[in-house]
Amino acid sequence: MSQPKRDGIGNILLVAVSVCLVCSILVSGAAVALKPVQKANRVLDQKKNVLIAAGVLAEGATEDAEGRGVEALFADFETRVVDLRTGRYADDVDAQSFDQLRTASDPSRSTALATGEDPATIKRLEHYGLVYLKRDASGAIETAVLPIRGYGLWGTLYGYLALDSDLETVAGIGFYQHQETPGLGGEVENPRWKAQWAGVSLFGDDGTPAVALVKGKAPEGSGARSHQVDALSGATMTSRGVQNLVNFWVGERGYGTWLENMRGGRV
């Protein structure tokens, strides 16, 4: 009796299809199984970025000097959702699951910005924004951290701005994602440049955002200097982008109304 040929075309196809099938099951199984891990890592990363901007965790560190890790340090922060249109808390929105960036691209949960009202070049502004609040023992705000974003030269920079207890002085800043050139606009990550932000006064005498990135600051002690940060050398466009986005997010279209309400004790 004649045996079927082992290296016949039918067998080759059968083996090839079986190998493909097994591999695709393995790859899609791994993708599904790893999804929750990836999501947990993304959430942990954002917590870390908030802590770094607030100055409670050093860049590149996984715990503070007392050995407290990201989760423990972040537990000192309260996460709230603010209605950016009214400057009041939106307690009907679950802060833990709220994805601010996702709502920014949803027409039912964001507003299109015309060119003249969009200095940060974000195109759409979400209705709700997150805030991270650290309180002292008496319950008063010690630090407030706000998500910020805006266009530099090559793309959108994403970061956090931390404010002191007066809600008008910068405590720290950090950008966790951007497309600026390393050594030029990418110097937004430089710890020495970032260190200058602590103590910068956000608002001018008329109460409007007044942060300025400049080449050559005004003399020490002058009013203008309190709002100034050194521009990044060789990166005028990135510097202008950072100036615009910071002023936008602390301004009336961003968190400005909430900041005013907080300072006036209305929320």
* Chain positions contacting ligand FMN, by CB under 6 A: 153, 180-181, 184-185, 233-238
- DSSP state for residue 181 in the 8-state scheme: P
Of the pair 127, 178, the CB lying nearest ligand FMN is at 178
**Strand partners for 174:** 160
Beta-strand (E) ranges in 115-244? 124-126, 128-135, 141-151, 156-163, 170-177, 212-214, 228-230
Long-range contacts of 9-16, Cβ-Cβ distance < 8 Å, separation of 24 or more: none
Of the pair 89, 154, the CB lying nearest ligand FMN is at 154
Q: Rounded to the nearest whole angstrom, what is the least distance from the CB of residue 186 to ligand FMN in the complex?
A: 6
CA angle 199, 47, 57 (to 5 degrees): 50
Cα separation, 23 vs 20, whole angstroms: 5
Of the pair 29, 183, the CB lying nearest ligand FMN is at 183
CA angle 247, 89, 242 (to 5 degrees): 15
Q: Rounded to the nearest whole angstrom, what is the least distance from the CB of residue 34 to ligand FMN in the complex?
A: 33
Closest CA to 102 of 147, 168, 153: 147
Of the pair 139, 182, the CB lying nearest ligand FMN is at 182
Q: Which single residue is written with the structure tokens 């959108």?
A: 156
Q: Rounded to the nearest whole angstrom, what is the least distance from the CB of residue 196 to ligand FMN in the complex?
A: 17
Q: Rounded to the nearest whole angstrom, what is the least distance from the CB of residue 117 to ligand FMN in the complex?
A: 23
Helix (H, G, I), strand (E, B) or coil at 244: helix
Q: Rounded to the nearest whole angstrom, what is the least distance from the CB of residue 90 to ligand FMN in the complex?
A: 36
Q: Rounded to the nearest whole angstrom, what is the least distance from the CB of residue 238 to ligand FMN in the complex?
A: 4
Of the pair 156, 257, the CB lying nearest ligand FMN is at 156
Of the pair 35, 215, the CB lying nearest ligand FMN is at 215
Cα separation, 260 vs 262, whole angstroms: 5
Query: Cα-atom radius of gyration of the chain, to the nearest Å?
Result: 24
Of the pair 239, 257, the CB lying nearest ligand FMN is at 239
Instruction: Give the residue nearest to ligand FMN (CB).
Output: 185
Cα separation, 148 vs 131, whole angstroms: 11
Q: How many CB atoms lie within 10 A of CB 217?
A: 17
Identify the H or E element spanning 92: none
Q: Rounded to the nearest whole angstrom, what is the least distance from the CB of residue 7 to ligand FMN in the complex?
A: 55
